[in-house]
């Protein structure tokens, strides 16, 4: 992309916080981003924060999970003691308090506004960004998830803030309006000129940030001395393979707790001719392969 073309890429200001879902849909159309206030109560924030901290130190103790510095995609060598942040994956298995985010009534309608009524969950995890981290590259969530960039939204993301978001603690940086930009390469997106367009959101805990899979974004530098936590829940149109294979990874005791609607969002029911069994396109969400899948037979 030529320098003159880069200069034509103009970011917008962030939309204001709102609790009006119809107004939030207008913000998504214009900015590619909506900020929803008070999606969860401060009591829920405290309970989730405690559960995440327990999980953080539990994974530390058992030496499992993902630790990062933040800038791994740049291909730099990173020492273990520099990995101050933790990604806590597959929260569905890690506490009942997280199940609400599969189809939260203040978030899910906005996801459907972006990508359509038929939706599956891509993944749900916590970003626990430690002080002393490094910036991740700016990226779009839906590319290169599918290896061909597309000019429509087939992915949408939501981030529920468990910590107050600010520039000081490396709050998530997004570029409002970038969902309408022409295709640009990752190297161009991470040039100094475009990196400077990405500003951290200042918003209180309990807020949800919802955005199009085509919005350029990344984390910021946390220099606050404290961990900044959020819950990232990404959704897809159901023809795209999700990041987390929920049929494989969700524990049996958790499956007993979720609703039929949530099972469908988790990919336990078919979409069109995709995801069925034995050629069926109407597999129920509670399909039992042990009793219903046809095996070897003789006359």
Per residue in 26-35, pLDDT (tens digit) is 999 999 999 9
- In this prediction, residue 12 carries a pLDDT of 96
Average per-residue pLDDT in the chain?
91
**pLDDT average, residue stretch 235-251:** 94
User: What mean pLDDT comes out for the span 153-169?
Assistant: 97
Mean pLDDT, range 203-226, rounded to an integer? 96
The region of weakest confidence among 75-89, 197-211, 245-259 is 75-89
Q: Is the pLDDT of residue 72 over 80?
A: no
Which pLDDT band holds residue 282 (cuts at 50, 70, 90)? Answer: low
Q: Which of 12-26, 141-155, 196-210 has the lowest mean pLDDT?
A: 141-155
Average pLDDT over residues 80-92: 92
Say how far apart CA 65 and CA 274 lie, in whole Å: 31
Using CA atoms in the order 125, 129, 135, 140, what is the torsion angle rounded to 10 degrees? 20
Q: Please give the residue that has the higher pLDDT: either 14 or 293.
A: 14
* Exposure of 133 in the CB half-sphere (CA atoms within 13 A): 33
Mean pLDDT of all residues in 64-70: 88
Residues 231, 130: Cα–Cα separation, whole Å: 15
Output the pLDDT for position 269. Answer: 86
Which domains are present in the chain? 3-69+82-268 (2.60.120.620)
pLDDT for the residue numbered 80: 86
pLDDT at 240 over 80: yes
Which conformational region is residue 170 in: left (phi greater than 0), alpha (psi within -120 to 50 degrees), or beta?
A: left
Average pLDDT over residues 113-141: 94
151 pLDDT exceeds 70? yes
Assign 274 a pLDDT band (cuts: 50, 70, 90): confident
pLDDT number for residue 283: 61
**Arithmetic mean of pLDDT, 269-292:** 74
Global pTM reads 0.92
Position 116 confidence tier, pLDDT thresholds 50, 70, 90: very high
Quickly state the pLDDT bin for 81 (edges 50, 70, 90): confident
pLDDT of residue 150: 86
Angstrom distances, CA of residue 201 to CA of 81, 103, 209, 255: 28, 24, 9, 35
Q: Is the pLDDT of residue 75 over 70?
A: no
Lowest-confidence segment of 145-149, 177-181, 235-239, 241-245 by average pLDDT: 145-149
pLDDT score recorded for residue 265: 96
Contacts 24+ apart (CB under 8 A), 51-56: 51/94, 51/95, 51/97, 51/98, 52/88, 52/126, 52/128, 52/162, 52/229, 55/88, 55/94, 55/95, 55/126, 56/86, 56/88, 56/128, 56/227
Residue 3 has pLDDT above 80, yes or no: no
As a whole-number percent, the residues of the chain with pLDDT over 70 amount to 95
pLDDT at 62 over 90: yes
Torsion of CA 213, 218, 222, 228, to 10 degrees: 10
Question: Averaged over 226-244, what is the pLDDT?
Answer: 96
| Residue 200 contacts residue 170 (beta carbons within 8 Å) | yes
**Contact status, residue 87 vs residue 70, Cβ threshold 8 Å:** no
Distance CA 272, CA 265 (A): 14
Pairing of strands 17-18, 33-36: parallel
């Amino acid at each position: 992309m030529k320098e003159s073309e880069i200069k034509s890429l103009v970011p917008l200001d962030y939309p204001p916080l709102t609790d009006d879902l119809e107004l939030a849909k207008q913000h998504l159309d214009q900015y590619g981003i909506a900020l929803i206030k008070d999606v969860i109560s401060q009591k829920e924030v405290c309970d989730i924060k405690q559960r995440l901290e327990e999980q953080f130190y539990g994974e530390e103790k058992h030496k499992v999970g993902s630790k990062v510095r933040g800038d791994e995609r740049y291909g730099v060598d990173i020492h273990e003691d520099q990995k101050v942040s933790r990604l806590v994956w597959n929260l569905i298995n890690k506490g009942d308090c997280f199940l609400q985010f599969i189809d939260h009534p203040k978030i899910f309608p906005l996801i459907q506004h972006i990508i359509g009524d038929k939706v599956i969950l891509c993944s749900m995890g916590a970003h626990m960004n430690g002080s002393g981290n490094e910036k991740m590259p700016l990226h779009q969530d839906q590319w290169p998830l599918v290896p061909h960039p597309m000019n429509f939204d087939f992915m949408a993301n939501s981030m529920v803030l468990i910590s107050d978001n600010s520039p000081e603690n490396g709050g998530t940086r997004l570029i409002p309006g970038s969902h309408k930009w022409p295709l640009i390469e990752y190297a161009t997106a991470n040039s100094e000129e475009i990196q400077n367009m990405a500003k951290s959101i200042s918003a209180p805990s309990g807020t949800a940030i919802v955005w199009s899979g085509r919005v350029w974004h990344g984390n910021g530098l946390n220099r606050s001395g404290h961990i900044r936590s959020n819950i990232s829940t990404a959704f897809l149109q159901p023809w795209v393979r999700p990041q987390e294979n929920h049929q494989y990874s969700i524990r049996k005791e958790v499956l007993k707790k979720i609703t039929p609607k949530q099972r469908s969002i988790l990919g336990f029911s078919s979409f069109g001719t995709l995801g069925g069994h034995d050629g069926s396109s109407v597999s129920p969400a509670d399909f039992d392969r042990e009793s219903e899948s046809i095996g070897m037979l003789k006359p």
